[in-house]
């Protein structure tokens, strides 16, 4: 091949540029510590990085959610423990009542119970992070308060049964509140089976006693009318001792559908089964009707209620206080009601503890996921510094050789020997 | 036959070697001129004379000054030039597009989208917090600004392409004109017997420049006139030439003759890179981006309109985004004025954040085709990355073969000082010898005169 002078200098410039480009690339690599600075550096790695980055940001958010959840749960537990402390006081006092006869002392006890009641009421209306602890998902007003005539304590908020859930991973939710219904509410459980052989058009009924805030007895009647295979219309009513309804307007009926093979209740009005809040307008009655556990099965109909509806703790204490003021010692039923509430509360404190543990577990899991993601990210994105620096040194060496070479291009030609 | 013949031969040879030295001098003078093709003095012997039964040589003559050039290499260089400059230009434009998206980083659209959806996630935990509601609005604003930046950036790149295309078409027109004028000069020179090597070098240079801009086809007629066509449309020969203009019709950038009748079929050169990215690549990216944002707006509004506000009375059927119009993502102005107009309660209670949870889930929820919003965005970025990467890789490949071809060209047409110096010595020696010959002839003549 004929070698012209232009070739020598062109070759040198081309190779020199290549070396310089490599040095430049290596310098960027070392300076940024990132292998991928632009999508075109590696489109497939960029795709993975974007996905991982999103996951990592999501985990950060889940962690923040869990932090909020934990602090909310902590406050809820503290409030419940304080209420439990007051209830223990009340129970000690109630057991001491047997030894006291003087009505003046009863009045004294009434004062103490009144103080405890007010404390419990205060705890039940506590807020955390702007949210009422026992207000369900309704923060528009305090969950509990006195009626206008101060004769009873009523649920003031529209609905205290709302569950607050946070997402702790893509597909898992964790409840972070104890609803007002769970802690303070009174639930009437409908249990048992409806005979699947019930003829279409026939009605099966069940009834139980319910009480208003001052302990007056009423009757709750629930009817299930079969409309089609596995389908029923549920209607209910509450009547007083003279058999008059306490609803101005009869409550709306519900359409129930049972699973044809398992017999479990599947939908209510097309939605997943939900408890029904019963609150008639003509009496101070407020409780939750839970019909979600009834089944349709072969055999005879065996509908029943787990228990009579009890008065809630606020009104029980209010009634005990009023009785004491009137010189009467509380009834055994009232004392049992307080102790039942205490047991329920202890249950709920344990449940809250479980939830807290679950949140902590979820947090641990997220942290280990995050570590994993960071590991993968750095394996895609991270620069092997030692390798990069060695390569840079090698390139620098080549560059120096090139400089030396440049100095010797065209220095000698035939011209020098003439 | 006389001594004067000796003088004749020697005198001719003096002239020839002086001329040959001239050519060599010109080569040496142009040794660093990359566009120069080395020239060679073609020295042949003169026609011999028949005297008696012997045929006598009559000396030497300089029959031609040849340009040393390999036209096959020229053609290959031009073909590679078209591909290389096409890819190189794409590389520049796609690099600009790539930078607009600022990926992979926290300030890219994916990071901002994640932050936006995560702000809903956080709001779902404390739905009545005005601070978190404002966070959602701020994240939406950041997203909206970035979307606008990208769209504005793409528009700027497009308008830059239009003006750059105009400039390139102007260069093409100038080059075409020059080729025609050089063709005619070369033809005139040929008839007048003038050396046209310099003109041919210049014409090659112009044709090379043209091959950078656009895909061309060059052929030579019997008069050595270059006949050039661009994408199947004739543009120049020795007698006539054609000019072009660039226009944007229905959002498509086109190159046509001024009357709009002939349109060259572009497939190479910088001009092809400009028109192709303008007509295909960038609109493709814009459509993908629009698809992503529209999907985001519709799915989010779909959830948001189902939600209830914590205001009294509670409101519903409120859109979070007014819409996505002309590259602008507009947030509902009512929400901007009052963060409590964000409707995330499913049942109307102020502490319910189910709608926010649903919204937070939209980003990574698979649609009917099994693709999430995040996926569709990642696909767009991967597309841009791949387009750029393939432009870089291909341009590097063409650059390699182009370098190789330039080397071949330099090997054939480049000047070698060593070679030229050897020629100088050779010609000088011949010149010396010829001069000596004159001296000898003179001595011989002197001898004869002295005899008298």
Residues B121, A51: C-beta atoms closer than 8 Å: no
What are A313's two structure tokens?
């703790």
What one-character DSSP code corresponds to residue B46? P
The Cα angle at residue B255 between residues B253 and B257, in degrees rounded to 5: 145
Residue B131 lies in a domain: yes
Residue A4 touches partner B, C-beta closer than 8 Å: yes
Residue B125 lies in a domain: yes
Give the separation between CA B47 and CA B30, rounded to whole angstroms: 33
The minimum CA-CA distance between A287 and chain B, rounded to whole Å, is 19
Radius of gyration of chain A, Cα coordinates, nearest whole angstrom: 38
The 10 Å Cβ neighbour count of residue B25 is: 12
Residue B84 touches partner A, C-beta closer than 8 Å: no
Domain residues for B39? 2-68+414-451
Residue B90 lies in a domain: yes
Closest residue on chain A to B345 (Cα): A137
pLDDT given for residue B162 in this prediction: 96
Query: What are the residues facing A287 on neighbouring strands?
Result: A278
The per-residue pLDDT for range B262-311, each reduced to its tens digit, is: 889 999 999 999 999 999 999 999 999 999 999 999 999 999 999 999 88
Q: List domains and CATH numbers for chain A.
A: 34-185+310-382 (1.20.1330.10), 186-307 (2.60.98.20)
Residue B357 touches partner A, C-beta closer than 8 Å: yes
- Same domain as B334, residue B318: yes
- Same domain as B276, residue B127: yes
Residues A40, B418: C-beta atoms closer than 8 Å: no
- Same domain as B360, residue B429: no
Please spell the DSSP secondary structure of B99-151, one letter per residue: HHTT-SSTTSHHHHHHHHHHHHHHHHHSTT-HHHHHHHHHHHHHHHHHHHHHH
- Same domain as B79, residue B14: no
A58 CB-near residues (< 8 Å, 6+ apart): A170, B114, B118, B121, B364
pLDDT given for residue B377 in this prediction: 94
- Same domain as B143, residue B19: no
Residues B104, A36: C-beta atoms closer than 8 Å: yes
Which chain A residues are Cβ-neighbours of B412 within 8 angstroms? 2
- Same domain as B273, residue B160: yes
Give the separation between CA B273 and CA B286, rounded to whole angstroms: 18
Which chain B residues are Cβ-neighbours of A49 within 8 angstroms? 104
CB B366 within 8 A of CB B376: no
The minimum CA-CA distance between B209 and chain A, rounded to whole Å, is 19
Q: Which of A43, A53, A167 sits opposite B110 (nearest CB)?
A: A53
pLDDT given for residue B194 in this prediction: 65
- Same domain as B94, residue B57: no
- Same domain as B88, residue B39: no
Q: For every one of its 418 residues, what pLDDT tens digit does chain A have, with 9 covering 90 and above?
A: 888 888 888 888 888 888 898 999 899 889 988 888 889 989 999 999 999 999 999 999 999 999 999 999 999 999 999 999 999 999 988 888 777 666 677 888 889 999 999 999 999 999 988 889 998 888 878 888 888 888 888 888 777 888 888 888 888 888 899 988 888 888 788 888 888 888 888 888 888 888 887 778 888 899 999 998 889 999 999 998 888 899 988 888 889 899 888 888 888 888 888 888 888 888 888 888 888 888 888 888 888 887 666 778 888 888 888 888 888 888 888 888 888 889 989 999 999 999 999 999 999 999 999 999 999 999 988 888 999 999 999 999 988 888 887 777 665 667 777 7
B355 CB-near residues (< 8 Å, 6+ apart): B303, B304, B306, B307, B343, B344, B345, B346
Which chain A residues are Cβ-neighbours of B421 within 8 angstroms? 413-415, 418
What are B256's two structure tokens?
């046509």
Q: Tally the domains of chain B.
A: 2
Longest dimension (CA), chain A: 141
CB B90 within 8 A of CB A94: no
What are the b/e assignments for A40-76, b being 16+ CB within 10 Å?
bbbbebbbbbbbbbbbbbbbebbbebbebbbebbebb
Beta carbon pairs, A and B, within 8 Å: 187
Residue B181 lies in a domain: no
| Residue carrying the six token digits 């030039």 | B81
Residue B216 lies in a domain: no
Best to test chain A binding among B129, B344, B350, B365 (most A CBs inside 10 Å): B350
The minimum CA-CA distance between B192 and chain A, rounded to whole Å, is 33
Sign for the CA dihedral angle at A4, A8, A14, A18 comes to positive
- Same domain as B437, residue B359: no
Residue B172 lies in a domain: no
The angle that helices B373-413 and B71-100 make with each other, rounded to 10 degrees, is: 150
What are the backbone dihedrals phi and psi of residue A173, each rounded to the nearest 5 degrees, phi first?
-115, 155
What are B232's two structure tokens?
């199947």
Residues B350, A166: C-beta atoms closer than 8 Å: no
Which chain B residues are Cβ-neighbours of A178 within 8 angstroms? none
- Same domain as B279, residue B161: yes
Segment (H or E) for A399: helix A385-408
- The ipTM value here is 0.77
Give the separation between CA B452 and CA B446, rounded to whole angstroms: 10
Residues A43, B389: C-beta atoms closer than 8 Å: yes
Residue B289 lies in a domain: yes
Give the separation between CA B292 and CA B375, rounded to whole angstroms: 10
Give the separation between CA B259 and CA B261, rounded to whole angstroms: 6
Show the low-confidence residues of chain B (pLDDT under 50).
none
What are B143's two structure tokens?
């997203």
Residue B381 touches partner A, C-beta closer than 8 Å: yes
Residue B372 touches partner A, C-beta closer than 8 Å: no
What one-character DSSP code corresponds to residue B279? I
Residues A61, B103: C-beta atoms closer than 8 Å: no
Nearest to A50 by CA among B300, B62, B105: B105
- Same domain as B157, residue B285: yes
Tell how far CA A339 is from the center of its chain. Answer: 28
Residue B206 lies in a domain: no
- Same domain as B428, residue B298: no
């Amino acid at each position: 091949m004929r070698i012209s002078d232009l070739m020598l200098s062109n070759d040198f410039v081309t190779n020199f540029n290549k070396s310089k480009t490599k040095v430049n690339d290596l310098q960027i690599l070392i300076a940024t510590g990132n292998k991928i600075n632009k999508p075109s550096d590696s489109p497939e790695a960029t795709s993975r990085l974007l996905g991982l980055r999103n996951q990592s940001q999501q985990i950060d958010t889940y962690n923040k959610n869990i932090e909020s959840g934990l602090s909310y749960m902590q406050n809820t537990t503290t409030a419940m423990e304080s209420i439990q402390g007051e209830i223990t006081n009340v129970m000690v006092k109630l057991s001491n009542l047997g030894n006291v006869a003087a009505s003046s002392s009863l009045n004294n006890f009434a004062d103490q119970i009144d103080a405890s009641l007010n404390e419990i009421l205060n705890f039940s209306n506590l807020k955390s992070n702007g949210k009422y602890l026992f207000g369900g998902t309704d923060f528009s007003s305090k969950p509990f308060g006195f009626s206008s005539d101060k004769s009873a304590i009523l649920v003031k908020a529209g609905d205290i049964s709302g569950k607050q859930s946070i997402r702790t991973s893509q597909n898992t939710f964790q409840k972070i509140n104890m609803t007002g219904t769970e802690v303070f509410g009174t639930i009437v459980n409908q249990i048992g089976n409806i005979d699947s052989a019930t003829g279409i058009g026939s009605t099966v009924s069940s009834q139980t006693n319910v009480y208003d805030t001052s302990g007056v007895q009423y009757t709750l009647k629930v009817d299930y009318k079969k409309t089609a295979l596995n389908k029923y219309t549920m209607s209910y009513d509450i009547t007083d001792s003279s058999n008059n309804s306490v609803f101005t307007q009869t409550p709306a009926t519900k359409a129930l559908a049972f699973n044809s093979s398992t017999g479990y209740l599947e939908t209510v009005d097309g939605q997943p089964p939900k408890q029904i809040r019963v609150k008639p307008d003509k009496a101070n009655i407020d409780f939750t009707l839970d019909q979600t556990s009834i089944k349709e099965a072969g055999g005879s109909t065996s509908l029943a209620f787990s228990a009579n509806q009890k008065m809630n703790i606020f009104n029980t204490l209010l009634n005990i206080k009023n009785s004491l003021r009137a010189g009467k010692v509380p009834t055994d039923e009232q004392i049992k009601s307080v102790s039942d509430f205490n047991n329920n509360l202890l249950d709920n404190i344990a449940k809250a503890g479980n939830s807290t543990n679950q949140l902590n577990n979820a947090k641990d899991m997220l942290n280990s996921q995050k570590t994993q993601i960071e590991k993968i990210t750095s394996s895609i994105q991270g620069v092997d510094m030692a390798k990069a620096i060695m390569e840079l040194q090698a390139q620098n060496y080549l560059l120096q050789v090139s400089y030396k070479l440049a100095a010797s291009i065209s220095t000698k030609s035939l011209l020098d020997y003439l | 036959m006389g001594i004067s013949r000796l003088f004749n031969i020697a005198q001719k040879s003096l002239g020839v070697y002086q001329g040959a030295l001239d050519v060599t001098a010109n080569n040496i003078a142009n040794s660093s001129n990359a566009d120069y093709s080395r020239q060679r003095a073609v020295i042949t012997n003169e026609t011999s004379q028949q005297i008696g039964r012997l045929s006598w040589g009559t000396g030497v003559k300089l029959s031609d000054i040849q340009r040393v050039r390999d036209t096959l290499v020229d053609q290959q260089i031009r073909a590679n030039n078209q591909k290389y400059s096409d890819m190189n230009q794409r590389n520049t434009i796609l690099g600009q597009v790539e930078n607009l998206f600022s990926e992979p980083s926290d300030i890219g659209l994916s990071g901002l989208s994640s932050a936006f959806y995560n702000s809903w996630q956080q709001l779902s935990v404390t739905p009545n917090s005005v601070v978190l509601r404002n966070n959602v609005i701020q994240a939406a604003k950041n997203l909206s600004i970035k979307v606008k930046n990208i769209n504005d950036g793409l528009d700027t790149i497009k308008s830059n392409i239009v003006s750059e295309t105009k400039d390139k078409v102007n260069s093409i027109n100038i080059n075409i004109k020059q080729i025609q004028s050089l063709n005619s000069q070369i033809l005139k020179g040929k008839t007048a017997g003038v050396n046209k090597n310099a003109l041919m070098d210049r014409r090659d240079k112009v044709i090379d420049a043209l091959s950078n801009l656009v895909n061309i086809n060059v052929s030579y007629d019997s008069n050595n006139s270059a006949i050039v066509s661009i994408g199947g449309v004739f543009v120049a020969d020795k007698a006539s030439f054609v000019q072009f203009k660039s226009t944007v019709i229905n959002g498509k950038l086109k190159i046509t003759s001024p009357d709009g009748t002939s349109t060259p079929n572009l497939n190479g050169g910088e001009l092809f890179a400009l028109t192709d990215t303008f007509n295909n690549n960038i609109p493709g990216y814009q459509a993908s981006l629009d698809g992503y944002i529209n999907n985001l707006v519709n799915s989010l509004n779909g959830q948001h309109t189902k939600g209830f506000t914590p205001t009294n009375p509670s409101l519903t059927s409120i859109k979070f985004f007014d819409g996505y119009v002309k590259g602008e993502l507009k947030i509902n102005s009512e929400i901007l004025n009052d963060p409590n107009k964000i409707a995330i309660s499913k049942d109307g209670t102020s502490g319910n954040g189910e709608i926010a949870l649903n919204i937070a889930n939209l980003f990574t929820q698979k649609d009917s085709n099994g693709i999430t919003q995040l996926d569709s965005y990642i696909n767009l970025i991967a597309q841009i990355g791949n387009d750029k990467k393939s432009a870089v890789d291909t341009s590097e490949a063409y650059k390699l073969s182009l370098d190789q071809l330039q080397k071949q060209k330099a090997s054939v047409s480049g000047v070698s000082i060593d070679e030229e110096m050897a020629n100088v010595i050779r010609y000088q020696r011949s010149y010396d010898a010829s001069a000596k010959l004159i001296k000898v002839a003179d001595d011989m003549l002197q001898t004869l005169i002295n005899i008298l």
